[in-house]
Structure 1
Amino acid sequence: MSERSGTLAEEPHQDRPPTSHEISSGQPWDASYQDGPAPWDIGGPQPAVERLAAAGGFSGTVLDAGCGSGDNALHIAALGLPVLGVEVAETAVAMAREKAEELQIAAEFVLGDALHLERLGRTFDTVLDCGLFHTFDGDERRAYADSLATVTASGGTVQLLCFSDEGPDTGPHPVSRQDIVAAFDPADGWTVAAIEPERLRTAYHDEAGAPAWLATINRR
């Protein structure tokens, strides 16, 4: 169901326009990794990703879109699945590669733009988005879904974990169920199979984490 090509060419960083989050924060994504751990870097995989993996939520070839410093991708790769992590922050990619080497886990990490995943030239059976979707504004979310459509194989699945707008102590940029549904239009070949309450850990929350959604989205 998936396709794999040869060596991936990394994208020139200067060709990428800033996202809405970068504009509002006044700094590029890479800055989050240059002075200590990023707020979403908890020193290991997200518990929700571990639970999802244990339940068989990942299969075939796997793409981690916005992989950060690689902990989720490495956890999945350690299960024996081929994994590619794509990240726009150069420092994070370097960190992920170093972790993979130290742990001797076979996972690929490349520099790339999640809004232009077609440049990978590959498709995947499962795509993980852990904490990326909620950073985009409304127009970017639709563009991101279009980007995901180019790399999600027919019959494949997107597993999306993002901050929820329901409950106390929400994370930054929380989104609603409807925001997710609106981005993944059935007319574009998507089926939102489930949106369930979850938790997403950050450096700013206690061990229970922030309210989150775990959406399972299928590609026809």
Structure 2
Amino acid sequence: MTGLPWDASYHDGPAPWDIGRPQPAIERLASEGGFAGAVLDAGCGTGENALHLASLGLPVLGVDVAETALTIAREKAGDRRVQVEFAVADALRLDRLGRRFETVLDCGLFHTFDGDERSGYVTSLASVTEHGGTLYVLCFSDDGPDTGPHPVSREELRAAFDPADGWNVATIEPDRVRTRYHDDGAPAWLATIRRI
């Protein structure tokens, strides 16, 4: 996939999902010790989640297809003096990174893929997630009023991460995704998924 449509989202000011700070759900997970070892932030955008995790002393790689977002992320890292790595990568071909991670974060990426793309994306995630590692998915939920674009059901999440493919969906909890258009956030699922 080309990153151009995503890159254009950052040309005229912040993208709708770029709230200028980490998502509260990710901050909470981090404060509870949910992140360990090498961390991959897939679809990191301008890097707020990756920067937060790296500021806690974790080795973090943030990847995105949008070059403009990554340029902004690198500038933030320099300004804040945070050690973090950012790289251009296609989420459907994460195997090309040639690395594996103990914790993988997908904040707002899963729901952008349609049904046909999801299986390829999940295979891509499997290629970089250590066995015994944890994947967190924060995505728009279909549960409640004022849902975000491309909401996902619990059943769709469970179906995507099949035990036959080496995944165990530990929990899917209701949460919120903050956006520039949702003052208190849009309905979301926060899924904790183990690589078995």
**Considering the TM-score relative to the shorter chain, is it more than 0.5?**
yes
Partner amino acid, structure 2, of 1:189: G
| Corresponding residue of 2:182 | 205
Partner of 1:186: 163
CA offset at residue 56 of structure 1?
1.0
What does residue range 1-220 of structure 1 map to in structure 2 within 5 Å?
16-17=1-2, 28-206=5-183, 208-220=184-196
Q: Provide runs of 4+ in structure 1 moved above 4 Å.
A: none
Shift of 1:142: 1.0
Aligned counterparts of 1:183 and 1:115: Cα–Cα separation in 2: 14
SS in 2 for 1:76: helix
Shift of residue 17, structure 1, vs aligned partner = 4.9
Letter of the 2:66 counterpart: A
Aligned residues: 196
Cα pair 2:40 2:105 within 8 Å, conserved: yes
Whether contact under 8 Å (2:2, 2:65) holds in the other structure is no
Q: Deviation at 1:73?
A: 0.2
* Counterpart residue identity of residue 168, structure 2: T
**SS of residue matched to 2:191:** strand
How far apart are residue 185 of structure 1 and its match? Answer: 1.1
Give, as a single letter, the amino acid of the residue that structure 1 aligns with 2:75.
E
User: Residue type of the partner of 2:186?
Assistant: A
Q: Aligned partners of 1:144, 1:184: CA distance in 2, in Å?
A: 10
TM-score of the aligned structures, taking structure 2 as reference length: 0.98
CA distance in 1, matches of 2:15, 2:60: 22
What is the RMSD computed on CA atoms of the aligned residues?
0.9
Give the letter for the 1:218 counterpart.
Answer: R
Shift of 1:182: 1.1
Alpha-carbon distance in 2 for matches of 1:159, 1:191: 12
Aligned mates of 1:200, 1:92 — CA distance in 2: 19
1:170-214 deviation per Cα after TM superposition (whole angstroms, max 9, x unaligned): 0000000011111111111000000000000000111x1000000
Q: Distance in 2 between matches of 1:93 and 1:185?
A: 32
Structure 1: where are the runs of 5+ without partners? 1-15, 19-26
Give the SS at the match of 1:214. Answer: strand
Deviations 1:27-55 (A, max 9, x none): 71001001000000001101111011111
Which residue in the other structure is 1:3 paired with? none
What amino acid is the match of 1:185?
A: D
Q: Distance in 1 between matches of 2:78 and 2:141?
A: 34
Q: Report the identity percentage.
A: 71
Provide the secondary structure at the position in 1 that maps to 2:17.
coil
1:138-173 Cα deviation digits (max 9, x unpaired): 111111100000000010000110000000100000
Equivalent residue letter for 1:169: D
TM-score normalised by the chain length of structure 1 = 0.88
